[in-house]
Each structure stands twice: as C-alpha cells, then as structure tokens.
Amino acid sequence: MEPTEDTTDATGVVSTDDESDSASGGTAADGDEWDEELPERAVDAAERLTRLAREAVDDAEADAYRADRAERLAEHDFTARVRDEDDTLVCYPEEWIEDGTVQIDRIDDTDRAVEVSLSGPGDPDDWAEIEEHNAALVDAVAEAHSEIHAANARAFADFMGNHYARPMDSATEAELSEFLDEYFPRNAWPSEEQRDAVRASLRYVFEAADERTPL
C-alpha cells in the first residue's frame, strides 16, 4: 500500500502515508565496504524503482514500480517511503510499523535505516566503484551478445558514469532518452549497425543486472 501524505499527530506517532517518513534514519556508508543491515543491492534497486515510479507516464506504471520496490525490500523485512521535505528515500525495518504508522517506541536504532538522496546525480567520489560495476555489466553483455552490443553498452556506461555518477541499471526512462537522443549519436560515433541495435543493447544491460528496463 502506498498512502499519500506524511503527518505527525498529537500522540507522537508518525504516519507513513505516501512515500514519506519522518523517522530519522541512518545514512548509507560512504566507505568502500557496505556495513548496513539492508544489502546494498536492495538499496540500489529501491532507489532505481523509486526514480522509475517518478518518471512513469501513468499511475498504473508508477504503482507497478512501487509494488516491485515493496516486494524486494520485504524480502529483507524492510519497507520504504520518500521524505518529501529533503527529497530522500528512507528504507527502514517493517517492525517499526503498525497499522501503517511508524511507532516511535519501536525505533531501537535509527542507524538501521538507510537514506538515499533523490536529488541530482550520484556521488562523484564513488566513481571508481560505479565504473567497476558498469564495466562488469559491459563484460556480461559482451559475453552473452555481439561486440556491437558490447560497444553500445560501453557508451552507455560512459554516459551514466561521467554525467550522472550512477550505475547503468539505475537509469530512468528520461536518462535513457537523453542517451539515445543526444549522447549516443553525438559522442559514441556509432556505426549503422550500432544505431540499429542500441535499444536492444540497453535491454541487455538491464537483463545482465537482473533489472527491469524502463524502455
């Protein structure tokens, strides 16, 4: 269920309506090693699906992305809301919630929550890690498909890494459109075969990451 607004009543119980939450969670680790209770892959998927829900052209599509996010987090007994005041995705344990509201007395350790800013690009300081992730996806595409698709995947990796400092499989529909319409024809110097194959190449990238493509 994805309610619609965030309020705090006189009893001190915080409502988790629509993608918002007033509980102050911890932040994701900035170092090389992930030390959060919620796996990093689950957090990355939650961020991507949240961005896709925002870009969705209709309510049904947005609801599908949110349902996918909820299902993935539920595998780890977590849930998520977007805190509107600072545009932050907050993932926190389901045990904090009863009847759709966060119970303050159940928050034993705020560091169990993970916060991800949804404003702007990713952290450039994480570029090396992002490049390693994207390069692995390019290699997977190269192994499963032709060099044409691998070259297109490499161009997409450069676009997402250099322009957004984010993994390829976190791209939204708008970012894919920007790549296809602007970056790819102007910067990748694609052959005719590459141009004809590029949409399939992008689908292969998301398949390699076991993620749903926004295309």
**3-state SS class at 185:** helix
pLDDT at 203: 96
Please report the pLDDT score of residue 74 as a whole number: 94
Contact of 87 with 118, CB cutoff 8 Å: yes
Residue in the block written with tokens 């007033």? 22
CA angle (135, 137, 141) in 5-degree steps: 115
pTM reported for the whole predicted model:
0.52
Confidence of residue 2 (pLDDT cuts 50, 70, 90): very low
Residues 64 and 94 placed together within one structural domain of the fold: yes
- pLDDT of 155 reads 93
Q: What is the pLDDT of residue 73?
A: 95
Q: Which residue is it, tokens 């698709």?
A: 149
Q: Could you tell me which residue, 33 or 214, shows the higher pLDDT? A: 214
Are 103 and 145 found together in one domain?
Answer: no
Query: Is the model more confident about 89 or about 126?
Result: 89
3-class secondary-structure state, position 14: strand
- Asked which of 119, 136, 153 is the last residue of a domain, the reply is 119
Whether 20 is in a domain gets the answer: yes
Q: Residue 205: in which H helix or E strand, if any?
A: helix 192-208
Task: State the average pLDDT over residues 155-164.
Answer: 87
Residue finishing a domain among 119, 150, 181? 119
Question: What's the token pair of residue 107?
Answer: 């928050």
Mean pLDDT of the chain: 80
173 pLDDT exceeds 70?
yes
For the chain, the domain total comes to 2
- Lowest-confidence pick of 72-76, 145-149, 164-168: 164-168
Tokens matching residue 20: 């918002």
Note whether residue 82 is domain-resident. yes
Contacts of 113 (CB under 8 A, 6+ apart): 23, 24, 25, 26, 90, 91, 92, 93
215 inside domain: no
- CA-CA distance, 198 to 153, in Å (whole number)? 8
Does residue 93 lie within any of the structural domains? yes
pLDDT-derived band at 8, boundaries 50, 70, 90: very low
Ranked by mean pLDDT, which of 7-11, 91-95, 127-131 comes out on top? 91-95
- 28 and 102 fall within a common domain: yes
Average pLDDT over residues 47-70: 87
Which of 3-7, 47-51, 56-60, 104-108 has the lowest average pLDDT?
3-7
**Stronger pLDDT, 71 or 12, i.e. the higher one:** 71
Give the range of the structural domain holding residue 60, as residue numbers without chain letter: 14-119
Burial class (CB in 10 A: 0-12, 13-18, 19+), 195: middle
Same domain, 43 and 88: yes
- Specify whether 18 is located in the same domain as 46: yes
Which of 66, 94, 119 lies at the terminal end of a domain, its last residue?
Answer: 119
Within a domain: 2? no
Question: Is the same domain home to 144 and 65?
Answer: no
Task: Over range 12-28, report the average pLDDT.
Answer: 39
Question: DSSP label at 77?
Answer: T
